[in-house]
Structure 1
């Protein structure tokens, strides 16, 4: 074989090897891109008692700016069963996997509704975290009384409303007065009997969960929050916040939801 032919053969072999390496790199990059695309992009937010879906405004705007598809549900709060059924309906309208987030009473709802196969993870924000066959009343037996709930007033028709005069001191003392006034004015009542209803299933036993623990909470005792979060083996982030941590610490809450979406 001539020197020229030998050189040509070496060059061809090197080119083939280089092409193979490039194909492998391209294949690996494609796999990485596919994994990135599989990250959960849908987020469903569930509000608590004495609020509505608008309490998530700060979190919604932050998540939307990052490309997430966000739905803030408006649960009826006529019963725990009605709330769970409502969220299951909302979940059925999502396209792809979902991070399910609950604030306060919303934690009761997502614990059972989160059993939906499309839910990949749960995020509890200053929320109740029941076990199977537990009610909100049952959970209160594991912690000290929540003094802030003294502001809840029955209307004689099985509904509880929060006295506007107590709304700030009890639920949102780290928010501006204008926002407190808005929250009190737009609140939704909750059926008093809801607090005695028990969840049937427990999603946190099957799916990873995160918890935002509000240390200055007067509506849900911090020690009870800690007990529930540890029992559910949630990844815990503590904030020095009122019960309305989803507003006063929206950046922290948003970051935790992103952690859940990328897990």
Structure 2
């Protein structure tokens, strides 16, 4: 399926999409953070600190991004180790991972941060096959021995336009090669069909076009917020991202 195009705001999940809830007096629960392609879990530090400071148990997945199946397996191992209900959060390609790994019995809510939210049989490759007219094209270099990287000279503009130049340069120079097989990995059972979802749209994103983000959010029935930010919104606006995750965690 090519990129979906839609400008409508997503609806709040209905009663047919059950999920765990917690009262203000109950334990905060756990949050598991899943990074996307080209980066590692260290970018979640600001979000991690905001959630920890508010009483959540937080774990950060370090996916090898060699294959979707492998990343789902690693994510499930991290979920296994968490106490209580888990809110599963994914950025970018991490959205594909949580769509599959979110079927874990401990997961009660999903939070997509400028992320892919595929349906059954879809992958990153199928979702980006036909970008909307005029959309920015991510500067992905040709595959090298089965791995992908972004052009470092174009990284800041495409991925991290609202970060300090030095910070964006560091991210460009510390890229994690993204496996071609991971980008082509297709979802078999989308967790959002049975669990409530939240979605943060980054309106200045030049990696995943905002119209495509809105369309995916609407399709999965997510409660949606929009933020003027780059694809690296989880780094540039950690408090905003943490607030959306808290909404997901409390139902």
Query: Normalising by structure 1, what TM-score?
Result: 0.83
Following superposition, which runs of at least 4 residues in structure 1 exceed 6 angstroms of deviation?
none
Where do residues 88-107 of structure 1 align in structure 2 (5 Å cutoff)? 88-107=76-95
Instruction: Provide the residue aligned with 1:147 in structure 2.
Output: 136
Tell me if 1:163 matches 2:151: yes
Instruction: Extract unaligned runs of 5+ from structure 2.
Output: 1-21
Q: CA deviation at 1:40?
A: 4.4
Tell me if 1:134 matches 2:122: yes
How many residues are treated as equivalent by the alignment? Answer: 229
Q: Distance in 1 between matches of 2:113 and 2:214?
A: 12
The secondary structure found in structure 2 opposite 1:54 is: helix
Tell me if 1:189 matches 2:194: no
Residues 156-206 of structure 1 show CA distances to partners (whole Å, capped at 9, x for unaligned) of 210011222111011011110121122122221111132222111111111
The secondary structure found in structure 2 opposite 1:70 is: strand
Tell me if 1:237 matches 2:225: yes
**Contact 2:28/2:55 (8 A) holds in 1:** no
Tell me if 1:256 matches 2:235: no
Q: Distance in 2 between matches of 1:36 and 1:168?
A: 40
Instruction: Provide the residue aligned with 1:76 in structure 2.
Output: 64
**Larger RCO, structures 1/2 (Cα 8 Å, 6+ apart):** 2
Instruction: Provide the residue aligned with 1:120 in structure 2.
Output: 108
The secondary structure found in structure 2 opposite 1:238 is: strand
Residues 211-263 of structure 1 show CA distances to partners (whole Å, capped at 9, x for unaligned) of 00011111001111111000001001001111111112212111011111111
Aligned-CA RMSD value: 1.6
Task: Point out the structure with max Rg over C-alpha.
Answer: 1
Instruction: Extract unaligned runs of 5+ from structure 1.
Output: 1-33
Q: Distance in 2 between matches of 1:230 and 1:143?
A: 18
**Contact 1:142/1:224 (8 A) holds in 2:** no
Q: CA deviation at 1:36?
A: 3.9
